[in-house]
Amino acid sequence: MSTRALVDERILSSPYHSLIPRTNMNSFYKSENVGLTGLIIRLQREDIGEVARDDEALSFALELQLQELSIVETDIADHHFAIKWLGQLDCDYKLALALSNLHHEADAALLTCTGCDSRFTRHQSFKAPCDRHFFCFECLANFFEYTIGDESLYPPKCCDTEISLDNVKKMLDDKLVARYEKKKIEYDTEPTKRTYCHGLKCNTFIPESSIENDVATCSDCGKRTCTICKEKSHRGDCPKDEDTQSLLDMAEKEGWQRCYNTKCHRVVVLTIGCNHITCRCGAQFCYICGARWKTCLCPHMNEAYLLAGNDRPRHAEHRLFQPPQD
Protein backbone atom coordinates (compact mmCIF):
# COMPACT_ATOMS: atom_id res chain seq x y z
CA MET A 1 0.00 0.00 0.00
CA SER A 2 1.36 3.47 -0.93
CA THR A 3 2.04 6.15 1.64
CA ARG A 4 -0.78 8.25 0.21
CA ALA A 5 -3.27 5.37 0.53
CA LEU A 6 -2.12 4.59 4.06
CA VAL A 7 -2.60 8.20 5.11
CA ASP A 8 -6.09 8.33 3.60
CA GLU A 9 -7.11 5.09 5.36
CA ARG A 10 -5.90 6.28 8.76
CA ILE A 11 -7.59 9.68 8.37
CA LEU A 12 -10.93 8.17 7.27
CA SER A 13 -10.90 5.72 10.18
CA SER A 14 -10.40 8.55 12.64
CA PRO A 15 -13.49 10.05 14.34
CA TYR A 16 -11.88 13.43 13.64
CA HIS A 17 -11.41 12.90 9.92
CA SER A 18 -13.82 15.73 9.11
CA LEU A 19 -11.50 18.14 10.87
CA ILE A 20 -8.38 17.13 9.01
CA PRO A 21 -7.52 19.30 5.94
CA ARG A 22 -7.48 17.35 2.67
CA THR A 23 -5.38 18.44 -0.24
CA ASN A 24 -4.75 17.09 -3.70
CA MET A 25 -0.95 17.05 -3.80
CA ASN A 26 -0.90 16.97 -7.62
CA SER A 27 -2.42 20.46 -7.66
CA PHE A 28 0.76 21.82 -6.12
CA TYR A 29 2.76 20.90 -9.25
CA LYS A 30 0.33 22.78 -11.46
CA SER A 31 0.86 26.06 -9.71
CA GLU A 32 3.19 28.47 -11.55
CA ASN A 33 3.64 30.63 -8.44
CA VAL A 34 6.21 29.06 -6.15
CA GLY A 35 5.46 31.59 -3.39
CA LEU A 36 1.76 30.72 -3.44
CA THR A 37 2.50 26.98 -3.29
CA GLY A 38 4.80 27.51 -0.30
CA LEU A 39 2.09 29.50 1.49
CA ILE A 40 -0.49 26.73 0.94
CA ILE A 41 1.88 24.06 2.31
CA ARG A 42 2.64 26.20 5.38
CA LEU A 43 -1.09 26.65 6.08
CA GLN A 44 -1.63 22.91 5.68
CA ARG A 45 0.99 22.23 8.31
CA GLU A 46 -0.65 24.70 10.69
CA ASP A 47 -4.07 23.09 10.16
CA ILE A 48 -2.65 19.62 10.81
CA GLY A 49 -1.06 20.86 14.04
CA GLU A 50 -4.41 22.24 15.25
CA VAL A 51 -6.33 18.92 14.84
CA ALA A 52 -3.62 16.72 16.36
CA ARG A 53 -5.06 14.43 19.18
CA ASP A 54 -3.82 11.77 21.51
CA ASP A 55 -5.12 9.13 19.12
CA GLU A 56 -1.98 7.19 18.19
CA ALA A 57 -3.30 6.08 14.80
CA LEU A 58 -4.39 9.59 13.92
CA SER A 59 -1.10 11.06 15.05
CA PHE A 60 0.73 8.58 12.87
CA ALA A 61 -1.42 9.50 9.89
CA LEU A 62 -0.90 13.17 10.45
CA GLU A 63 2.85 12.63 10.75
CA LEU A 64 2.85 10.80 7.45
CA GLN A 65 0.94 13.68 5.85
CA LEU A 66 3.50 16.17 7.20
CA GLN A 67 6.28 14.08 5.71
CA GLU A 68 4.50 13.97 2.39
CA LEU A 69 4.09 17.73 2.49
CA SER A 70 7.85 18.09 3.04
CA ILE A 71 8.59 15.76 0.12
CA VAL A 72 6.12 17.59 -2.09
CA GLU A 73 7.58 20.96 -1.09
CA THR A 74 11.06 19.81 -2.05
CA ASP A 75 9.85 18.30 -5.35
CA ILE A 76 7.92 21.44 -6.23
CA ALA A 77 10.92 23.62 -5.52
CA ASP A 78 13.04 21.39 -7.79
CA HIS A 79 10.30 21.36 -10.40
CA HIS A 80 10.00 25.15 -10.55
CA PHE A 81 13.77 25.53 -10.51
CA ALA A 82 14.02 23.22 -13.51
CA ILE A 83 11.33 25.18 -15.35
CA LYS A 84 13.04 28.48 -14.56
CA TRP A 85 16.45 27.09 -15.57
CA LEU A 86 15.09 25.78 -18.87
CA GLY A 87 13.47 29.13 -19.51
CA GLN A 88 16.72 30.93 -18.81
CA LEU A 89 18.54 28.46 -21.02
CA ASP A 90 16.11 29.18 -23.83
CA CYS A 91 16.67 32.96 -23.37
CA ASP A 92 20.44 32.45 -23.36
CA TYR A 93 20.21 30.38 -26.53
CA LYS A 94 18.15 33.03 -28.29
CA LEU A 95 20.57 35.72 -27.15
CA ALA A 96 23.55 33.68 -28.30
CA LEU A 97 21.87 33.10 -31.66
CA ALA A 98 21.15 36.81 -32.07
CA LEU A 99 24.73 37.71 -31.18
CA SER A 100 26.01 35.09 -33.62
CA ASN A 101 23.87 36.56 -36.39
CA LEU A 102 25.12 40.04 -35.59
CA HIS A 103 28.70 38.74 -35.65
CA HIS A 104 28.20 37.15 -39.06
CA GLU A 105 26.57 40.30 -40.39
CA ALA A 106 29.41 42.45 -39.04
CA ASP A 107 32.00 40.06 -40.43
CA ALA A 108 30.32 40.15 -43.83
CA ALA A 109 30.58 43.94 -43.79
CA LEU A 110 34.38 43.87 -43.19
CA LEU A 111 36.80 44.53 -46.04
CA THR A 112 39.98 42.57 -46.75
CA CYS A 113 43.23 44.54 -46.92
CA THR A 114 45.15 43.81 -50.14
CA GLY A 115 48.44 44.21 -48.31
CA CYS A 116 48.05 42.04 -45.20
CA ASP A 117 44.76 40.12 -45.80
CA SER A 118 43.41 41.34 -42.45
CA ARG A 119 39.79 42.42 -42.12
CA PHE A 120 38.79 46.00 -41.40
CA THR A 121 35.69 48.19 -41.43
CA ARG A 122 35.14 50.67 -44.23
CA HIS A 123 36.19 53.52 -41.91
CA GLN A 124 39.43 51.73 -41.05
CA SER A 125 40.58 51.29 -44.65
CA PHE A 126 41.27 53.15 -47.88
CA LYS A 127 39.60 52.25 -51.15
CA ALA A 128 42.14 52.32 -53.97
CA PRO A 129 41.28 54.40 -57.06
CA CYS A 130 40.99 51.17 -59.07
CA ASP A 131 37.73 50.58 -57.10
CA ARG A 132 38.64 46.92 -56.55
CA HIS A 133 41.10 46.87 -53.68
CA PHE A 134 41.31 48.19 -50.12
CA PHE A 135 44.27 48.97 -47.86
CA CYS A 136 44.35 49.30 -44.10
CA PHE A 137 46.02 52.50 -42.88
CA GLU A 138 49.16 50.68 -41.78
CA CYS A 139 49.71 49.03 -45.18
CA LEU A 140 48.91 52.31 -46.91
CA ALA A 141 51.58 54.08 -44.85
CA ASN A 142 54.06 51.28 -45.60
CA PHE A 143 53.33 51.65 -49.31
CA PHE A 144 54.32 55.33 -49.24
CA GLU A 145 57.28 54.57 -46.97
CA TYR A 146 58.61 52.00 -49.45
CA THR A 147 58.15 54.49 -52.30
CA ILE A 148 60.37 57.01 -50.51
CA GLY A 149 63.17 54.46 -50.51
CA ASP A 150 62.59 52.99 -53.96
CA GLU A 151 62.01 55.27 -56.94
CA SER A 152 60.85 52.32 -59.06
CA LEU A 153 57.65 52.30 -56.96
CA TYR A 154 56.92 55.97 -57.71
CA PRO A 155 54.25 57.04 -57.97
CA PRO A 156 52.33 54.60 -55.72
CA LYS A 157 49.83 52.71 -57.84
CA CYS A 158 47.16 50.06 -57.59
CA CYS A 159 46.24 48.28 -60.82
CA ASP A 160 48.25 50.94 -62.74
CA THR A 161 46.14 53.72 -61.23
CA GLU A 162 48.08 56.33 -59.24
CA ILE A 163 47.24 56.82 -55.58
CA SER A 164 47.29 60.58 -55.15
CA LEU A 165 48.83 61.92 -51.96
CA ASP A 166 46.04 64.49 -51.69
CA ASN A 167 43.51 61.65 -51.30
CA VAL A 168 45.34 59.94 -48.43
CA LYS A 169 46.97 62.79 -46.49
CA LYS A 170 44.47 62.56 -43.63
CA MET A 171 45.23 58.85 -43.22
CA LEU A 172 49.02 59.26 -42.98
CA ASP A 173 51.33 60.61 -40.31
CA ASP A 174 52.28 64.28 -40.82
CA LYS A 175 56.00 63.47 -40.74
CA LEU A 176 55.57 60.79 -43.40
CA VAL A 177 53.62 63.21 -45.58
CA ALA A 178 56.37 65.84 -45.26
CA ARG A 179 59.09 63.34 -46.18
CA TYR A 180 57.12 62.06 -49.14
CA GLU A 181 56.39 65.55 -50.46
CA LYS A 182 60.11 66.33 -50.29
CA LYS A 183 60.94 63.11 -52.13
CA LYS A 184 58.22 63.78 -54.69
CA ILE A 185 60.02 66.96 -55.80
CA GLU A 186 63.16 64.91 -56.38
CA TYR A 187 61.36 62.17 -58.31
CA ASP A 188 59.53 64.73 -60.46
CA THR A 189 62.86 66.26 -61.51
CA GLU A 190 64.51 64.72 -64.56
CA PRO A 191 67.47 62.56 -63.45
CA THR A 192 69.92 64.46 -65.69
CA LYS A 193 68.86 67.76 -64.11
CA ARG A 194 69.08 66.68 -60.48
CA THR A 195 71.73 68.08 -58.17
CA TYR A 196 72.80 66.37 -54.96
CA CYS A 197 74.98 67.86 -52.27
CA HIS A 198 78.63 67.01 -52.97
CA GLY A 199 79.23 66.37 -49.25
CA LEU A 200 80.18 62.71 -48.81
CA LYS A 201 78.16 62.46 -45.60
CA CYS A 202 75.20 64.36 -46.98
CA ASN A 203 74.28 63.69 -50.62
CA THR A 204 70.92 65.41 -50.10
CA PHE A 205 68.86 66.32 -53.14
CA ILE A 206 68.84 70.08 -53.75
CA PRO A 207 65.62 71.39 -55.34
CA GLU A 208 65.57 74.05 -58.02
CA SER A 209 64.33 76.61 -55.49
CA SER A 210 67.76 76.42 -53.81
CA ILE A 211 69.76 76.93 -57.02
CA GLU A 212 71.06 80.28 -58.25
CA ASN A 213 73.58 80.90 -61.04
CA ASP A 214 74.39 77.21 -61.34
CA VAL A 215 75.16 76.98 -57.61
CA ALA A 216 73.01 74.74 -55.44
CA THR A 217 72.94 75.36 -51.68
CA CYS A 218 72.14 72.37 -49.46
CA SER A 219 69.47 73.08 -46.85
CA ASP A 220 70.78 70.28 -44.62
CA CYS A 221 74.51 71.00 -44.33
CA GLY A 222 74.86 74.38 -46.09
CA LYS A 223 77.47 73.20 -48.61
CA ARG A 224 77.39 74.70 -52.10
CA THR A 225 77.50 72.47 -55.18
CA CYS A 226 78.04 73.26 -58.85
CA THR A 227 74.98 72.12 -60.79
CA ILE A 228 77.13 71.42 -63.88
CA CYS A 229 80.05 69.34 -62.62
CA LYS A 230 78.23 68.29 -59.41
CA GLU A 231 81.36 69.06 -57.41
CA LYS A 232 82.11 71.79 -54.90
CA SER A 233 80.99 75.17 -56.21
CA HIS A 234 83.67 77.33 -57.81
CA ARG A 235 84.06 80.72 -59.43
CA GLY A 236 84.26 81.15 -63.13
CA ASP A 237 83.20 78.81 -65.87
CA CYS A 238 82.75 75.14 -65.14
CA PRO A 239 85.25 73.16 -67.24
CA LYS A 240 82.63 70.45 -67.69
CA ASP A 241 80.13 72.83 -69.25
CA GLU A 242 80.59 71.77 -72.88
CA ASP A 243 78.13 74.28 -74.34
CA THR A 244 79.81 77.21 -72.61
CA GLN A 245 83.27 76.04 -73.66
CA SER A 246 82.16 75.77 -77.30
CA LEU A 247 80.74 79.29 -77.18
CA LEU A 248 83.93 80.69 -75.63
CA ASP A 249 86.08 78.99 -78.25
CA MET A 250 84.05 80.67 -80.97
CA ALA A 251 84.17 84.03 -79.15
CA GLU A 252 87.97 83.80 -78.99
CA LYS A 253 88.19 82.95 -82.66
CA GLU A 254 85.78 85.67 -83.85
CA GLY A 255 87.06 88.40 -81.51
CA TRP A 256 83.88 88.69 -79.46
CA GLN A 257 84.00 89.86 -75.89
CA ARG A 258 82.54 88.87 -72.59
CA CYS A 259 81.06 90.90 -69.71
CA TYR A 260 83.21 90.95 -66.57
CA ASN A 261 80.22 91.22 -64.18
CA THR A 262 80.20 88.07 -62.04
CA LYS A 263 76.40 87.96 -62.20
CA CYS A 264 76.35 88.28 -65.97
CA HIS A 265 79.32 87.06 -68.06
CA ARG A 266 77.33 87.50 -71.25
CA VAL A 267 79.13 87.17 -74.58
CA VAL A 268 78.61 90.29 -76.72
CA VAL A 269 79.22 90.87 -80.41
CA LEU A 270 80.03 94.35 -81.74
CA THR A 271 78.51 94.99 -85.18
CA ILE A 272 79.11 98.73 -85.43
CA GLY A 273 80.46 101.45 -83.18
CA CYS A 274 83.37 102.14 -80.85
CA ASN A 275 85.05 99.80 -78.41
CA HIS A 276 83.09 101.18 -75.45
CA ILE A 277 80.55 98.48 -74.60
CA THR A 278 77.63 98.90 -72.22
CA CYS A 279 76.19 95.50 -71.32
CA ARG A 280 72.53 94.87 -70.62
CA CYS A 281 73.43 94.37 -66.98
CA GLY A 282 74.88 97.92 -66.87
CA ALA A 283 78.56 96.99 -66.78
CA GLN A 284 80.87 99.00 -69.09
CA PHE A 285 84.00 97.45 -70.56
CA CYS A 286 86.48 97.50 -73.41
CA TYR A 287 85.55 95.36 -76.40
CA ILE A 288 89.20 94.57 -77.14
CA CYS A 289 90.50 93.37 -73.75
CA GLY A 290 87.34 93.06 -71.66
CA ALA A 291 88.63 95.32 -68.87
CA ARG A 292 86.42 97.88 -67.15
CA TRP A 293 86.02 100.94 -69.28
CA LYS A 294 88.80 103.49 -68.95
CA THR A 295 91.10 101.10 -67.09
CA CYS A 296 93.09 99.99 -70.13
CA LEU A 297 95.23 101.56 -72.92
CA CYS A 298 93.31 100.02 -75.83
CA PRO A 299 92.20 102.40 -78.66
CA HIS A 300 88.82 103.99 -78.23
CA MET A 301 87.63 102.85 -81.64
CA ASN A 302 88.41 100.55 -84.51
CA GLU A 303 87.86 101.93 -88.01
CA ALA A 304 86.62 98.57 -89.28
CA TYR A 305 83.63 98.85 -86.95
CA LEU A 306 82.63 102.40 -87.74
CA LEU A 307 80.74 101.63 -90.93
CA ALA A 308 78.08 99.02 -91.43
CA GLY A 309 78.76 96.26 -93.90
CA ASN A 310 82.53 96.20 -93.52
CA ASP A 311 84.36 93.06 -92.54
CA ARG A 312 84.90 92.68 -88.80
CA PRO A 313 88.45 91.32 -88.41
CA ARG A 314 89.63 90.22 -85.02
CA HIS A 315 91.74 92.92 -83.32
CA ALA A 316 95.37 91.94 -82.95
CA GLU A 317 95.33 92.85 -79.25
CA HIS A 318 92.07 91.07 -78.55
CA ARG A 319 91.92 89.17 -75.26
CA LEU A 320 88.74 87.40 -74.23
CA PHE A 321 87.86 88.15 -70.62
CA GLN A 322 88.32 85.10 -68.36
CA PRO A 323 86.53 85.11 -65.02
CA PRO A 324 88.78 84.18 -62.09
CA GLN A 325 88.84 80.48 -61.27
CA ASP A 326 89.10 78.85 -57.82
What mean pLDDT is predicted for residues 124-140? Answer: 91
Q: What is the pLDDT of residues 238-281, one digit of tens each?
A: 888 999 899 999 999 989 999 999 888 999 998 888 999 999 99
- Supply the pLDDT for residue 82: 58
Query: Are 192 and 184 a contacting pair, CB within 8 Å?
Result: no
- Looking at per-residue pLDDT, the higher value among 67 and 135 belongs to 135
Domain with CATH 3.30.40.10 in the chain: 110-188
Residue/partner pairs of 105-113 with CB below 8 Å, 24 or more apart: 113/139
- Supply the pLDDT for residue 18: 47
> Does the pTM exceed 0.75?
no
Q: Is 86 left (phi over 0), alpha (psi -120 to 50) or beta?
A: alpha
29-66: b (≥16 Cβ within 10 Å) or e = eeeeeeeebeebbeebbeebeebeeeeeebeebbebbb
Return the bridge partners of 127, or none: 134
Q: What is the pLDDT of residues 196-232, one digit of tens each?
A: 999 999 999 999 999 998 999 999 999 999 999 999 9
- Looking at per-residue pLDDT, the higher value among 104 and 295 belongs to 295
- Looking at per-residue pLDDT, the higher value among 42 and 217 belongs to 217
pLDDT bracket for residue 323 (50, 70, 90): confident
- Supply the pLDDT for residue 11: 47
Q: What is the pLDDT of residues 64-94, one digit of tens each?
A: 555 665 666 666 665 565 566 556 656 666 6
- Supply the pLDDT for residue 58: 53
CATH class of 110-188: alpha beta
Share of the chain above pLDDT 70, in %: 64
